[in-house]
Structure 1
Amino acid sequence: MPTNKKGRYAEIIIPENWKSFTIDTLLRDYWKGPKKLVHQWRMDRAILLNGKTASWSIPLTPGDSISLPFFENRKSTIIPTFHDLDVLYEDDHLMIVNKPSSIDTHPSSPEDSSTLLNFVAFHVSMQGEDREVKHIHRLDRDTTGAVLFAKHPFVGAILDRMLEERQIKRTYLALVHGDLKKNQLKIDAAIGRDRHHPTRRRVSPTGQKAVTHIEKIKYFPDKKLTFIKCNLETGRTHQIRVHLSHIGHPLAGDTLYGGKNIFPRQALHAYKMELTHPITEECITVYAPFIDQPPIFPELGENLFI
């Protein structure tokens, strides 16, 4: 279901399956949009139907045109900073970017200007618009791979909910020390803060529930490293790093969690992201190529990307 950007509006031709909705039920029940923003649009009479102010209580007619003010200019608090970006997917509503190592996902203070979010803000500002871009999730500073960003508040709120409801699937690749004996492994161990260290996490029965699924890809006996694939049911801070250390197979290069210092960073890469676009309903699958120079991960061919 494509959208057509016209200034501050996204124009959508109403599809057949929306005929049972009013504008009110479309925004609140179908999209489950942010209540404050939806209320503001209603008070401002901001939504148009066939170019005219729309009634919120009349059922929609397939083939009509609805215009939604997704793209209103909003002054961002993020300092836009130029930096080359590896953009994996982009449309009017969202972006997926391949994050390099040694860069934070988002600022830790208002004056911080050297994070991936700052770079995305600059990229969007070059399209001639003031946008309130937002990261939907984060990767650790030294983890590489796909990161999802929202380009306007309405889609950002929906993507937040989708992430919470596990409707956004993220797959990681990693190199761990030792030979992982099982080809498939589920790690179900709660994670909490380590009171002896300001940034470290640990497995703790009083922590938050955390579940990681592991698939063994290949063991390299000369390096005593196993190449694995990871999927998360939950998104706790340092989850993969903590869980793999907990089972005695820390990430190579992850000195915080017991890995040996054989790489300049922990060998963890978010290589695949899958989601249904919340506005267009397109099925999106994105792969993030390895970007380390010199390389960390072995290239195993296209059969890996399935």
Structure 2
Amino acid sequence: MNIIRKGELLEVIIPAKWNQITIDQLLREVWSGPKKQIHQLRTDKAVLLNGEQANWHFPMSTGDRLQIKFFLEKDFGVIPSFHNIDILYEDDHLLVVNKPAGMDTHPNEPTEVNTLANAVAFYLQANGEFRKVQHIHRLDQNTTGAILFAKYPFIAAILDRMLEQREISRIYLAIIDGMIKGKKGTIQKPIGRDRHHPTKRRVSPTGQNAVTHYQVLKTFPNQNRTLIQCKLDTGRTHQIRVHLSSIGHPLTGDLLYGGKPGYSRQALHAAMLTFIHPLTNEKIECRAPFLDEPPIFPDQSLEWIKR
């Protein structure tokens, strides 16, 4: 599909499959854009068709040139701060970053500068892109792996919806204490706050619905540990950590949830992120290399993942 950035504009050459649909249909039905932002685009007269102000309800034709002002400069929303980061994928619309251990996803206070969001802001600034940094999901401070960022509000809203509707697949690798029974399973237990600990979560009948699927990849009998992969239907805080602890197999190194010592952090890594690009329809698959020194996961673990 012919979609390119030209300065502030996203330019789309209308393909045959979109012949005779309107701009309104494209934004609302094809791209499933958010109503609020579509309304703002209309109010700002930010959409052109063949170089002129567009009639949103007039059918477009194959070969028409649609231009939308998506790439307006914005304040980063965080303080740009240099940190080495591993970019797994990037285009004009989004980027996927491999988060190291010991780093928060985003600041909790405006003055914080040591988070992944600060590092992404610096990276964008160094490349001449002034964009509000928008993470689509989070990882705990001591969980490593792939995190998806959007570069402008329209794409962020679409990616948020895709995540909610499970159109973005996230596969985690985890090393757990003990030899788990069976090759695969599903944990469906609601998760809520722990009244006795400010940052801890627990299984609670009054908590939010949470579903974790797991599959055994390799066992380590001599260490009494198991390597599993996890896939989430929901994205609750500490979900994998709480769920695995609740069935008697906490993450190795996760002292907060009863895991045995063994590593400098909980053995959890967001290994793979897969989705269909909402604008280009390309399949994006990102595998996040391990960053730990000394290593936690076996080198071959990424190859053992089962779809």
Is 2:154 aligned against 1:154? yes
- Provide Cα deviations, 1:8-61, integer angstroms capped at 9, x if missing partner: 001111112212421112112222222222222212221111222211111111
Measure, in 1, the Cα distance between the counterparts of 2:261 and 2:276. 39
* Deviation (angstroms), 1:203: 0.8
Partner of 1:289: 289
2:190 maps to 1:190: yes
Name the residue aligned to 1:179: 179
Deviations 1:61-120 (A, max 9, x none): 111111111101112221111111100000000000000000000110111111001111
Matched, 1:6 2:13: no
Match of 2:209 in 1: 209
Question: So what's the TM-score if we normalise by structure 2?
Answer: 0.97
Q: Distance in 2 between matches of 1:260 and 1:301?
A: 21
Query: Which residues of 2 match residues 219-238 of structure 1 at below 5 A?
Result: 219-238=219-238
CA distance in 1 between partners of 2:303 and 2:129 (Å): 40
Query: How big is the shift at 1:130?
Result: 1.6
Deviates more, 1:37-46 or 1:290-299: 37-46
Contact between 2:217 and 2:305, CA under 8 Å: does it hold in 1? no
The 5-angstrom pairing of residues 112-151 of structure 1 reads 112-151=112-151
2:111 corresponds to 1:111? yes
Superposition TM-score, scaled by structure 1 size = 0.97
Kindly indicate whether the alpha-carbon contact (under 8 Å) linking 1:101 and 1:143 is maintained by their aligned counterparts in 2.
Answer: yes
Greater displacement, 11-20 / 284-293: 11-20
What amino acid is the match of 2:243? H
Tell me the distance in 1 between the aligned counterparts of 2:302 and 2:201: 35
Alignment-mate amino acid for residue 218 of structure 2: K
Find the aligned partners of 1:302 and 1:189 in 2 and give their Cα distance. Answer: 28
Counterpart CA distance in 1 for 2:133 and 2:280 is 19
Bigger drift between 10-19 and 228-237 goes to 10-19
1:294 Cα deviation after fit: 0.6
More deviation, 124-133/174-183: 124-133
Amino acid at match of 2:236: R
Aligned residue type for 1:271: A
Question: How far apart, in 1, do the equivalents of 2:229 and 2:302 lie?
Answer: 15
Provide the residue aligned with 2:258 in structure 1: 258
Distance of 1:171 and 1:106 partners within structure 2:
21
Instruction: Indicate how the Cα distance of structure 1 residues 296 and 169 shifts in structure 2: closer, same or farther if over 3 A, else same.
Output: same
3-state SS, counterpart of residue 271 of structure 2: strand
2:272 match: secondary structure: strand
Find out whether 1:67 has 2:67 as its counterpart: yes
Q: Which amino acid aligns with 1:166?
A: R
Structure 2 partner of 1:90:
90
State the identity %: 56
Asked if 1:244 is matched to 2:251, the reply is no
After TM superposition, give the deviation of residue 241 of structure 1 in Å: 0.2
Q: Which runs of 5+ in 2 are unaligned?
A: none
- Maintained 8 Å contact 2:229/2:305: no
CA contact (8 A) 1:287 1:305 kept: no
What does residue 40 of structure 1 align with? 40
Shift of 1:247: 0.4
CA distance in 2, matches of 1:265, 1:76: 30
Q: Rate the CA distance shift 1:3–1:217 in 2: closer, same or farther, 3 A.
A: same
Which letter does structure 1 place at the counterpart of 2:96? I
Which deviations, in whole Å up to 9, do the C-alpha atoms of 1:160-184 show, x marking residues without a partner?
A: 1111111111000000000012101
**Cα deviation code 1:131-181 (max 9, x no counterpart):** 112000000000000000001111001001111111111000000000012
Structure 1 residue 24 corresponds to structure 2 residue 30: no
The farther-off stretch of 170-179 and 52-61 is: 52-61
Query: Residues of 1 paired with 2:302 and 2:102: CA distance?
Result: 27
User: Is the contact between residue 271 and residue 302 of structure 2 (CA under 8 Å) also seen in structure 1?
Assistant: no
4+ runs deviating over 4 angstroms = none
In 2, Cα distance between the equivalents of 1:126 and 1:103?
A: 21
Measured at CA, do residues 284 and 109 of structure 1 come closer, stay the same or move farther in structure 2, by a change above 3 Å? same
* Root mean square deviation, CA, Å: 1.2
| Structure 1 unaligned residues grouped into runs of 5+ | none
Stretch of structure 1 that moved more, 108-117 or 86-95: 108-117
1:200 aligns with 2:186: no
One-letter code aligned to 2:226:
T
Cα distance, 1:305 vs. partner? 4.7
Deviation larger for 45-54 or 149-158: 45-54
